[in-house]
């Protein structure tokens, strides 16, 4: 009886996850004339490397799984990487009937999901979708890259980089311009081959933030960490605590700014840095060039 039960459970598990489709393809688009490249994934690793040519190339490894052979066959046709252009921007995104791709008025893009509409009894028949993307983009162009689950890596970009993740970390190496990086459950690591001219913004909840900057750094830094510590090997001084004054018909109220402000260096044209975590440490160190 126990043997029959184990065999039955094994058959159920095999049946539930046995249908799988895997393929690979590449999409190449000239980046000439575009202001910014946007790469929007959902699940799967994303690796972006800067190149010297004008071509933007995305190599796609697509994996689809479903207990239903019919639904899997439909997903093979309906779920794929696609491109669209809007207001001088080029977008690579996942075409998916269960996830709506939307572009906002400022050119920012996101997915809204229809998955919440599914009956919970249908959970075991959902299609699991994973897209692992290996991307090559021109180094000088501005870049936005978005993921939800699995690592996100960017190497060698000279333009501005905006990177967003949720369930994993962000690693940006060899940056030469402004960086905005946000995640929730992962670490953020950013190294600069050239210090940015305006801003660095990094925010996470459960992870550490580590920056490697070039020498002669001059920056005003806003730091916030509830349960972590701060370290830097640059000389720094404390900035006065920010107090905001608000007046209304009930009188004057004062609010104290969050975080702690420091200044690194004393050169003109200092950059603004805002680094925020809840449970992690914040480290700003000098870049060890090879």
Q: Tell me: pLDDT of 167 over 50.
A: yes
The pairing of strands 179-182 and 161-164 is parallel
Stretch 211-232: mean pLDDT: 92
Query: What residue segments make up the domains of the chain, in order of their start?
Result: 15-240+260-286
**For 83-94, how does the pLDDT look when each residue is reduced to its tens digit (9 = 90+)?**
999 999 999 999
Q: In this predicted structure, what is the pLDDT of residue 268? A: 74
**Other Cβ atoms within 10 Å of 58 Cβ, number:** 23
The model's pTM is 0.86
> How crowded is residue 1: how many other Cβ atoms within 10 Å of its Cβ?
5
Q: What radius of gyration do the chain's Cα atoms show?
A: 23
The pLDDT value recorded for residue 253 is: 56
d(CA 278, CA 290): 33
Residues 164 and 146: beta-carbon distance below 8 Å: yes
On average, the pLDDT of the chain sits at 87
């Amino acid at each position: 009886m126990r043997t029959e039960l184990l065999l039955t459970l094994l058959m159920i598990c095999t049946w539930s996850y046995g249908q799988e489709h895997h393929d690979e393809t590449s999409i190449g688009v000239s980046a000439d004339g575009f202001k910014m490249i946007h790469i929007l994934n959902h699940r799967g690793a994303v690796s972006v490397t800067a190149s010297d040519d004008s071509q933007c190339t995305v190599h796609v490894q697509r994996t689809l799984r479903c207990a239903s052979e019919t639904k899997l066959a439909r997903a093979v046709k309906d779920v794929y990487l696609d491109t669209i252009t809007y207001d001088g921007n080029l977008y690579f995104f996942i075409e998916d009937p269960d996830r709506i791709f939307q572009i906002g008025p400022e050119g920012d893009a996101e997915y809204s999901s229809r998955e919440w509409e599914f009956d919970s009894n249908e959970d075991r028949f959902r299609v699991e979708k994973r897209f692992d993307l290996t991307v090559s983009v021109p180094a000088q162009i501005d870049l936005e890259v978005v993921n939800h689950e699995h690592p996100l890596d960017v190497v060698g970009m000279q333009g501005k980089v905006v990177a967003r993740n949720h369930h994993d970390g962000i690693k940006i190496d060899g940056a030469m311009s402004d960086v905005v990086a946000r995640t929730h459950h992962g670490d953020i690591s950013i190294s600069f081959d050239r210090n940015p001219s305006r801003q660095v913004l990094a925010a996470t909840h459960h992870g550490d933030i580590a920056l490697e900057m070039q020498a002669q750094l001059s920056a005003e830094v806003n730091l916030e960490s509830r349960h972590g510590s701060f370290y830097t090997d640059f000389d720094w001084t404390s900035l006065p605590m920010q107090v905001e004054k608000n007046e209304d018909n009930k009188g004057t109220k004062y609010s104290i700014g969050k975080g702690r402000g420091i200044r690194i260096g004393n050169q003109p044209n200092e950059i603004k840095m805002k680094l925020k975590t809840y449970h992690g440490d914040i480290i700003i160190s000098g870049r060890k060039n090879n």
